[in-house]
A and B are shown apart, each in its own frame.
Chain A
Amino acid sequence: MTDQELRDLVLSVLAGIAPDADLASLAPGEDLRERLDIDSMDHLNFVIGLHQATGVEIPERDYARLVTLRDTLAYLAARLHSGSH
Chain B
Amino acid sequence: MAEFRMPSLGADMERATVVHWLVQVGDRIERGQVVAEVETEKGVLEVESFESGIVEELLVCEGTTVAVGTPLARIGAVAGGEGQPVPGALSVATAGRAAPAVAPAAAPAITPTVAPAVAPAAASAITPTVAPAVASAAQSIEPAAAARPAAQTRGRRRISPAARALAESADIDLDRVEGTGPDDAVTLADVRRAQRQPTSIGAAEPPALATGEDHAAPSTSAIRPAAPSGLATDAARRAAMRASIAALMSRSKREIPHYYLSQEIDLERALLWLENENLRRPVEERLLPAALLLKAVATAAVEVPEMNGFFENSAFRASTAVHLGVAISLRDAGLIAPAILDADRRSAGELMAALRDLVRRARSGGLRASEMSSPTLTVTNLGDQGVTAVFGVIYPPQVAIVGFGKVFARATVEENGIRNRRMVTATLSADHRVSDGHRGAYFLAAVGRLLQRPEEL
Contacts and interface: CB of A to CB of B under 8 A. Distances in A.
A3 interface: no
Instruction: State the main secondary structure of chain B at its contact with A.
Output: helix
Interface stretch (B14-22, B141-149, B225-233, B282-290): B282-290
A9 to B, nearest CB: 14
The 4 A-B pairs at the shortest CB distance, nearest first, are namely A19-B187, A24-B215, A39-B384, A20-B188
Given A16-B182, A41-B288, A59-B279, 10 more contacts: A15-B187, A19-B163, A19-B185, A20-B331, A24-B216, A40-B289, A41-B355, A41-B356, A44-B288, A51-B283
A37 B332 CA distance: 10
Contact of A19 (B218, B288, B355, B364): B364
Contact of A47 (B187, B283, B331, B356): B283
Contacts of B261: none
Interface of B: 160, 162-163, 180-182, 185, 187-189, 215-218, 275, 278-279, 283-284, 286, 288-290, 329, 331, 355-356, 359-360, 363-364, 384-385
A37 B331 contact: yes
Contact of B286 (A19, A22, A44): A44
A47 B217 CA distance: 27
A19 B278 contact: no
Contacts of B329: 39
A60 interface: yes
B44 to A, nearest CB: 15
A47 B283 CA distance: 8
B166 to A, nearest CB: 10
16 contacts: A19-B160, A19-B163, A19-B364, A20-B187, A20-B331, A22-B218, A24-B215, A39-B384, A39-B385, A40-B288, A41-B288, A44-B356, A60-B275, A60-B278, A60-B279, A60-B286
Nearest to A47: B283
A41 B363 CA distance: 12
B284 A48 contact: yes
Contacts of A22: 217-218
Contacts of B163: 19-20
Highest count of chain B CB atoms <10 Å: which of A20, A39, A40, A60:
A20
Contacts of A23: 215
Contact of A15 (B189, B216, B279, B288): B189
A40 B286 CA distance: 12
B283 A48 contact: yes
B160 A20 contact: yes
Tell me which of B218, B278, B283, B359 has the highest count of chain A C-beta atoms within 10 A of its own C-beta: B283
